[in-house]
Amino acid sequence: MKIGIIGSGTMGIGIAQVAATSGCAVFLYDANVAQTEKSLANLRKVLDRLVEKQKISAEKSEDIFNKIKPCTELQDFKDCDLVIEAIIENKEIKTKVFQNLEEIVSDECIISSNTSSISITSLSAELKNPKRFIGIHFFNPAPLMPLVEVIPGLLTEKNLAEEIVTLMESWGKIPVIAKDVPGFIVNRIARPFYGEALRMVEENIATPEQVDDAMRTLGNFKMGPFELMDLIGIDINFSVTKTVYADYFFDPKYKPSLLQQRMSEAKLHGRKTGKGFYDYSENAQKPVPEKDEELYHEIFMRILSMLINEAVEAKRLGIANDQAIELAMQKGVNYPKGLLAWGKEIGYSTISETLQKMYGQYQEERYRQSPLLRKMSNK
């Protein structure tokens, strides 16, 4: 199978590695030729390391590398069966690229986008044939994170999602079908993990290190919200939050945090700038959290209840089926358990009561419960 990948940045090169590893011929194009050279040089190092660790043979490494053909013009994509776009997150620029591409590829070629936040329907509507367009959303780093969200838009051909699911499985991925809603599954359900954490720090209820410690120790999360924001990049995380908030017509549930805005303005983006919620400079000491059992329980229950409420609401709205909702959070962002199963384990009535209490305290729409959560908590 011939796969075209547009954009050779973080995501493009990762997806190229995945496709080539499964035996596809990959055509890789980027408007910036130097970026493709840089990414391929990095890929060489990644593959060498895999050989050193005996994860793959030297021949396999050569084979993967040779399957990726750097291209200097889109014209080279003319025989591709599937094109995955992973360029800058800008609707106008993406649309232009798709319109050019449509003039080059055959009528049978599937065109897709790895966008995290632009509506798939809106991108497809700019094409002559929107039926062949679909979202294929990988997670960073693409070779390591198993989840792929497959997102048909309103105009996408009926059977295309299933076709892509089968293809992604053959690439060793765990695909889930998601509705074309802002944030799809993962970036929608995960919002309170950051949002509630930020709010508790903003309101001097807890420190970042206490929130992180509580989520790691009580919830078994690999990373707490602040550590994770520092890793993702506070600017990136803030931008996703703002987009989801605006695209849900300013639903207060997704209201961004002023603290995050200030951190972003100060360019305290996290690891990549050396400082975020934590200091990453050479001799910096990580602050030791002041342990407080009661506070830790509050932090954990508050964040987890908000997450479970989101998962239940996604179920109610049919954004994905139960299995997909559970898999998405475990395989896309490493949550230790599926949120629906977690809700059942703790008791939906306990989750409902926690939200009820928050609503009582704040009198804010942010804490409104999914109608399905109320129903489930009465069972």
Known catalytic residues are 116, 137, 149, 187
Q: What is the DSSP string of 284-346?
A: PPPPPP---HHHHHHHHHHHHHHHHHHHHHHHHTTSS-HHHHHHHHHHHS--SS-HHHHHHHH
User: Cβ contacts of residue 249 below 8 Å, gap of 6+?
Assistant: none
Nearer to ligand NAD (CB atom), residue 234 or residue 308: 234
Q: Does residue 225 sit in helix, strand or coil?
A: helix
Residues that bind ligand NAD (CB under 6 A): 6-12, 30-32, 35, 86-89, 93, 97, 114-116, 138-140
Residue pair 60/31 in contact (Cβ under 8 Å)? The answer is: no
Secondary-structure breakdown of the chain: helix, strand, coil percentages, each rounded to the nearest 5 = 55, 10, 35
Nearer to ligand NAD (CB atom), residue 186 or residue 314: 186
What does the alpha-carbon distance between residue 71 and residue 210 come to, in Å, rounded to a whole number? 49
Residue showing the smallest CB distance to ligand NAD in the complex? 9
Token code pair at residue 244: 């989801």
Q: Nearest distance from residue 36's CB to ligand NAD, in Å?
A: 8
Q: Nearest distance from residue 8's CB to ligand NAD, in Å?
A: 5
Q: Nearest distance from residue 264's CB to ligand NAD, in Å?
A: 16
Nearer to ligand NAD (CB atom), residue 144 or residue 288: 144
Nearer to ligand NAD (CB atom), residue 30 or residue 213: 30
Q: Nearest distance from residue 369's CB to ligand NAD, in Å?
A: 30
Nearer to ligand NAD (CB atom), residue 148 or residue 197: 148
What does the alpha-carbon distance between residue 111 and residue 180 come to, in Å, rounded to a whole number? 16
Q: Nearest distance from residue 89's CB to ligand NAD, in Å?
A: 4
Determine the residue type at 137. Answer: H
Q: Does residue 64 sit in helix, strand or coil?
A: helix
Q: Nearest distance from residue 85's CB to ligand NAD, in Å?
A: 8
Token code pair at residue 249: 């017509």
Structure letter (DSSP) for residue 151: E
> Between the CA of residue 127 and those of 151, 158, 271, what are the distances in Å?
17, 17, 39
Nearer to ligand NAD (CB atom), residue 6 or residue 340: 6
What does the alpha-carbon distance between residue 155 and residue 134 come to, in Å, rounded to a whole number? 9
Other residues' Cβ atoms within 10 Å of the Cβ of residue 127: 17
Phi, psi angles (nearest 5°) of residue 46? -60, -45
